[in-house]
């Protein structure tokens, strides 16, 4: 029967896989943000095995602030689309705005994303179980590599700016685990947490760029 520590590590790793999978597979932006919020808590739990608990909680705080920025940006973007739809002066413009609101967030469909996700998981399990890296334990190495690869996968498959931002944040969480386990530099750890806020602000700015006028012009041209 596995002991408590082994069971807790297994729960942490499974939670990392599930939360990142939500961001890759589920189009709904609210569920993606909720999944990433849970992921920050799980990452902080894993990091707490490497640094004191108060320092690990900093990861939750920075992640929560970053997700709040992206949440309000997504809400504002949705409100702008609704306002543009209501203010559109013809059916063609409304059709363009409706297609914009319902467009696919990913460049490929669900089956290919699921296949890519499974391939990445199997590949990482094979790599982690067959090699060592800088003396890291297998659970830490798997968590770090998985989040970095999942973040890259989200970024590559996304065509939406906000979803791209979620992929970058997932990647930085994986890199934060790897850095904390190898360097143990509090300065770099703090900079990584600050970088999450800067990334969220940049993504929020890009996601909030006005698109109403261009959509209306496209509707008029059709």
Given pLDDT bands bounded at 50, 70 and 90, which one contains residue 116? very high
Q: Which residue has the tokens 């609704």?
A: 82
Say whether pLDDT at 200 is over 70: yes
Given pLDDT bands bounded at 50, 70 and 90, which one contains residue 198? very high
Say whether pLDDT at 220 is over 50: no
The overall average pLDDT reported for the chain is 84
> Three-class SS of residue 159?
coil
Say whether pLDDT at 215 is over 80: no
Asked if residues 40 and 19 have their Cβ atoms less than 8 Å apart, the reply is no
The strand pairing partners of 106, in sequence order, are 158
Structure confidence at residue 222 (pLDDT): 39
Cβ atoms < 10 Å from Cβ of 74:
21
H or E element, residue 212: helix 212-221
Given pLDDT bands bounded at 50, 70 and 90, which one contains residue 214? very low
Report, as an integer, the average pLDDT of 179-187. 84
Interatomic CA distance for residues 159 and 150, integer angstroms = 16
Higher pLDDT, 61 or 81: 61
Say whether pLDDT at 133 is over 60: yes
Asked if residues 50 and 144 have their Cβ atoms less than 8 Å apart, the reply is no
Given pLDDT bands bounded at 50, 70 and 90, which one contains residue 131? confident
Say whether pLDDT at 49 is over 60: yes
Interatomic CA distance for residues 19 and 111, integer angstroms = 18
> Three-class SS of residue 170?
helix
Between helix 138-157 and helix 161-182 the angle, nearest 10°, is 160
């Amino acid at each position: 029967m596995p002991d408590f520590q082994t069971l807790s590590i297994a729960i942490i790793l499974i939670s990392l896989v599930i939360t990142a999978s939500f961001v890759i597979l589920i189009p709904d932006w609210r569920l993606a943000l909720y999944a990433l919020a849970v992921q920050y808590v799980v990452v902080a739990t894993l990091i707490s095995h490497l640094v004191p608990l108060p320092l690990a909680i900093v990861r939750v705080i920075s992640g929560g602030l970053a997700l709040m920025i992206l949440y309000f940006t997504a809400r504002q973007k949705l409100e702008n689309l609704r306002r543009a739809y209501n203010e559109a002066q013809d059916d063609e413009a409304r059709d363009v705005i409706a297609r914009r609101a319902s467009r696919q967030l990913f460049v490929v469909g669900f089956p290919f994303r699921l296949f890519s996700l499974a391939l990445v998981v199997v590949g990482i399990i094979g790599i982690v179980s067959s090699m060592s890296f800088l003396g890291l334990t297998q659970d830490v190495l798997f968590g770090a590599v998985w989040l970095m690869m999942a973040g890259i996968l989200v970024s590559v498959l996304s065509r939406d700016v906000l979803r791209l931002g979620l992929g970058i944040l997932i990647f930085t969480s994986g890199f934060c685990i790897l850095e904390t386990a190898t360097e143990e530099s509090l300065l770099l750890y703090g900079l990584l947490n600050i970088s999450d806020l800067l990334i969220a602000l940049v993504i929020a700015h890009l996601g909030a760029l006005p698109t109403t006028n261009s959509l209306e012009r496209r509707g008029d041209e059709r």
